[in-house]
Amino acid sequence: MDSYSATIIDAVEKVKTAVVKIEIFNNTNKKEQLSGTGSGFLFSSDGYLFTNSHVVHNSTNIKVKLHDGTSRQATLIGEDPDTDLAILKISDADFTPAKLGDADLLRIGQLVIAIGNPLGFHHTVTAGVVSALGRTLENQNGRMMDSMIQTDAALNPGNSGGPLINSDGEVIGVNTATIRGAQGLCFAISINTAKEIASQLIRFGKVKRAYLGIVMQQIELVPKLRAMHELPNKQALFISEVSAGSPAEKAGILSGDIIHSFNNMMIETSDNLFKQLTADKIGQFHFIGIIRSNLKKEFRITPIQRN
CATH for 24: 2.40.10.10
Q: Are 36 and 77 in the same domain?
A: yes
Same domain, yes or no: 108 and 200: yes
Q: Are residues 191 and 245 in the same domain?
A: no
224 and 246 assigned to the same domain: yes
pLDDT digits (tens, 9 = 90+) for 183-211: 668 899 999 999 999 999 998 888 888 89
53 touches 145 (CB < 8 A):
no
Residue 180 pLDDT greater than 70, yes or no: no
pLDDT score, position 260: 96
Q: Which of the four pLDDT bands, split at 50, 70 and 90, describes residue 142?
A: low
What pLDDT is recorded for position 170?
Answer: 98
Residue 273 has pLDDT above 80, yes or no: yes
Assess whether 49 and 112 both reside in one domain: no
Q: Calculate the alpha carbon distances from 236 to 110, 181, 243 in Å.
A: 19, 30, 20
Which of the pair, 180 or 252, is modelled with greater confidence?
A: 252
Q: Is 33 exposed, middle or buried (0-12, 13-18, 19+ CB in 10 A)?
A: exposed
Boundary of a domain, candidates 204, 222, 242: 204
Question: Are 270 and 219 in a shared domain?
Answer: yes
Domain boundary at 39, 62, 90, which? 90
pTM reported for the whole predicted model: 0.82
Total structural domains in the chain? 3
Assess if residue 2 is contained within a domain. no
Q: Which active-site residues does the annotation give?
A: 54, 84, 160
Which among 163, 182, 204 is the end of a domain?
204
In a domain, 7, yes or no: no
Q: Is residue 187 part of a domain?
A: yes
pLDDT of res. 13: 95
Contact at 8 Å (CB) between 65 and 33? no
Residue 8 maps to a domain: no
Q: Is 11 a domain residue?
A: no
Provide the mean pLDDT of the chain.
90
Where does the pLDDT of residue 181 fall: very low under 50, low under 70, confident under 90, or very high at 90 and above? low
Tell me, rounded to whole angstroms, the distance of Cα 204 from its chain centroid. Answer: 20
pLDDT in tens, 33-83: 888 899 999 999 999 999 999 999 988 899 999 998 899 999 999 999 888
Whether residue 74 sits in one domain with residue 118: no
267 pLDDT above the threshold of 90: yes
**Domain membership of residue 116 as a residue range:** 103-204
